Structure 1
Amino acid sequence: MKVALIHATTTALKPIEEAFRKVAPEIELLHFMDTYLLSMLEKSGSLTPEIARRFSKLVTLAAEAKPDCIQLTCSAFNPLTAILQPLYGVKMFRSDEAMLDEALLFERIGLISTVKETPAALIDYLQEKQPDCTIESVVDPGIIHLLFEGKQSEHDERVREMIEAMDGKVDVIVLSQYSMAHVAEQVQTTSPLLIAPEATALRCFQYILQK
């Protein structure tokens, strides 16, 4: 069993590897990464044709490795799955769909993000699946770069502040990126707190078993 993982940041590596080791250690993980994609997205503010073409190169490399499925790990690029899926014979999963499907069991959903372009990608998915859901979004743009600079304590503190500000105002809180998953262990909330890595690994494993 093989899963190809497509990354735009190094911060996704540890959370998703740990999740697969816990859920399905027998799955071989193949990593395909292009960190320049996030820089392109931050400069453009949207998913441009240039970004789509560059991203598709990663998908092509991943597909050529003949995995059982392809899994994205960066939520800001999720809309590209619908565009690129018809071009490949291997199933491609969004980074967050398993987590968001769980969030849709609740009426009022809170999104916490550290990349400015991320919320729109998640909100589109949620509203397409359930138009009546209520969504509150809080974003602290760019603080993901604190992780790149080795300032994890400062990053985690600012994420905790967003969580604490939203807690109790929604029915469920979603940590929108893999890079924030570890912060869930640092807080206690009255609202359920969802993270993506383990839900993602479980969905990939279940998909492979059903093939």
Structure 2
Amino acid sequence: MERVIAAIYTGQGLAERLQPLFKEELGDCRIVSILDDSLIGEVIRSGGVTPGVTRRLVQYYRHAEDLGADLIFNTCSSVGETADWARPMFRTPIVKIDDAMAREAAGQYNRIGVVATLPTTLAPTRQLLLREAERQQRTDVQVVDALAQGAYQALTSGRPEEHDRLILEAALSAAGTVDVLVLAQGSMARMEDRLRAETGLPVLSSPRFGVRALKEELAKLRAAGRQETTEKIG
């Protein structure tokens, strides 16, 4: 049976990076994309998630469930806390793109540098890492902010070289005090190899972690389906 994954996007750009990963890791699934780039615009203007953004996201999660999605993939770290809040409202599991990355970072490293191009993503990622450290009972985890001020605007204005330069500068500013760099936005994954080479540090980005988390959830669904079939036969 073909499995369906509904990917919810709040902005342009990330879908193109995720498509090869979907094909590589989830080749037997059908991916349905729901994109509303007004969401991230409203988050940026308001400095955080508004009631209107929350309402529209929940509507998109509901659309995904209504169309028969087996999993909902929340691809935007800026609205991750909304996904956490909404999970109990739906039968369909909601997988956040950055949860698995946060588990890895909080479980393996003590001093984590978070590189972001938007303050509205920096704060939720910091909180996600600290919650994950608490869940793993790791009291020695510290998070260092590294905001690449203006990088997001450079990218959306068609200046990718400036975007990359500002990210590199932010990463280098934190590199001497941290054990690992975490890229807060999936769209920053393009810088993963360069930052690793320039800083000499491990660099974690969310797209591959998130897609592999989807793969793990699908395996659980298939196992549960086989168990249900066995019980019915028995």
For the superposition of Structure 1 and Structure 2, which TM-score range results when normalised by the shorter chain? Answer: over 0.9
User: What is the CA distance between 1:41 and its match in structure 2?
Assistant: 0.9
User: What is the CA distance between 1:142 and its match in structure 2?
Assistant: 4.5
Q: How does 1:1-211 map to 2 (within 5 A)?
A: 1-104=3-106, 105-131=108-134, 132=139, 133-187=141-195, 188=197, 189-211=199-221
Structure with more relative contact order (C-alpha pairs < 8 Å, separation 6 or more): 1
- Preserved CA contact (<8 Å) 2:148 2:169: no
Distance in structure 2 (CA, Å) of the matches to 1:141 and 1:93: 29
- Preserved CA contact (<8 Å) 1:168 1:191: no
1:86 maps to amino acid: P
RMSD: 1.5
2:23 maps to amino acid: R
Query: What residue in structure 1 maps to residue 226 of structure 2?
Result: none
1:137 maps to amino acid: D
Name stretches of at least 5 consecutive residues in structure 2 with no aligned partner: 222-234
Q: Give the aligned length.
A: 211
Q: What secondary structure sits across from 2:119 in the alignment? A: coil
Per-residue Cα deviation, 1:146-193 (whole angstroms, up to 9, x for no partner): 222221111111112222222232111001101110111223032210
- Preserved CA contact (<8 Å) 1:12 1:74: no
User: What is the CA distance between 1:139 and its match in structure 2?
Assistant: 1.1
Structure 1 pair 26–146 and aligned structure 2 pair: CA distance change class (3 A):
farther
- Preserved CA contact (<8 Å) 1:116 1:142: no
Q: TM-score, normalised by structure 1?
A: 0.94
Task: State the structure with more CA Rg.
Answer: 2
User: What is the CA distance between 1:6 and its match in structure 2?
Assistant: 0.6
Q: What secondary structure sits across from 1:78 in the alignment? A: helix
Name stretches of at least 5 consecutive residues in structure 1 with no aligned partner: none
- Preserved CA contact (<8 Å) 1:11 1:147: no
Q: TM-score, normalised by structure 2?
A: 0.85
Q: Percent identity?
A: 24
Distance in structure 2 (CA, Å) of the matches to 1:186 and 1:124: 26
Distance in structure 2 (CA, Å) of the matches to 1:180 and 1:186: 11
